Amino acid sequence: MTTSRRPGSLAIDANPASDKEFERVLKAIASTRRLQILEWLKDPSSNFPEQIHGDPELHGACNQFIVEKLGVSQPAASRHLKVLVDAGLILATPRKGWTYYRRNERAIADVVRRVASI
């Protein structure tokens, strides 16, 4: 069985394509650092400094603030963010020369439903 995919959602029906996508999501959340990023992005206003160019509730957190808070190198943080974006769990928004990241709540809800159905 296949399903039409809503924008920003994950295909979670039992078929090989969605199983591969679900596996990618599980691998993405198998990292403590990536789980921490998701947790921080629940409330970016409280977890990151004030931003000049982006509204934390609308656009999310600036990549530089995420790098600093993680305490890792820029390449390492970029890799964590790319994994989360590729898994569909966060959305990247370029703005004024910076990239802002926010949670993809619809995709996260899809993952929660899929895990609950196991």
β pairing state of 61-62 and 90-95: unpaired
- Tokens matching residue 109: 């809800």
> In angstroms, rounded to a whole number, what is the distance separating the alpha carbons of residues 4 and 34?
28
pTM of the model: 0.81
* Three-state DSSP string of 59-115: CCEEHHHHHHHHCCCHHHHHHHHHHHHHCCCEEEEEECCEEEEEECHHHHHHHHHHH
Residue corresponding to tokens 């603030």: 65
pLDDT tens digits for range 50-72: 877 776 676 789 999 999 999 99
pLDDT at residue 60, as a whole number: 86
**Which of 12 and 91 is assigned the larger pLDDT?**
91
Note whether 1 and 13 are within 8 A (CB): yes
Note whether 48 and 61 are within 8 A (CB): yes
Considering the chain, what is the average pLDDT of its residues?
86
pLDDT tens digits for range 10-36: 554 555 568 899 999 999 999 999 999
The domain defined by 16-116 folds into Arc Repressor Mutant, subunit A (1.10.10)
pLDDT at residue 71, as a whole number: 96
